[in-house]
Structure 1
Amino acid sequence: MDPTAQQFGEVLKEARLRSGLSQQELSFQASIHWTYVSQLERGLKNPTLSVILRLAAALDVTAAQLVAEVERRA
């Protein structure tokens, strides 16, 4: 398993929970399938830049904040 994908997944899940969103709600707001959100959170998939931007917008944070937190944990 890719450690960066795993760290991104942890950051994503924490941001989602802080926002009070379910995986389904986040996926709807980001226009991606909920199973993909699940795979991202478990570190099974690496998101593209466009997905990171959509997730960040849905979470009301910047993509830079998400990536910076992944960098901090690396």
Structure 2
Amino acid sequence: MRLAETFGENVRRVRLQHGLTQEALAVDVGLAVTYVGQIERGLRNPTLDVVERFAEALKTEPLILLQKATSRES
């Protein structure tokens, strides 16, 4: 799996854990909702700045959003 896809899956997982919609997350991150959707589907390659913005909005560490599932479970 590509890192962009892993990041997108983690963003979606954490967003849902926080009970946020894509629209609410988009507002918190300061990006268009379509961009957030593309991120979650692994269609965009976010910059490190964008990774950091998502982590701050989701109240988590950037590394958590970049880790593959098997790395998180260990």
**Common fold: TM-score over 0.5:** yes
Per-residue deviation, residues 1-47 of structure 1 (Å, max 9, x unmatched): x7221111111100110111000000100111111100000010011
Q: How high is the TM-score relative to the length of structure 1?
A: 0.84
Q: Identity percentage over the alignment? A: 41
Segments of 5+ residues of structure 2 without an aligned counterpart are none
Q: Tell me which residue corresponds to 1:70.
A: 68
Which structure has the highest helix share of the two?
A: 1
Q: How high is the TM-score relative to the length of structure 2?
A: 0.84
Indicate the SS of the match to 2:26. helix
Offset at residue 70 of structure 1 (A): 3.2
1:17-36 paired onto structure 2 within 5 Å: 17-36=16-35
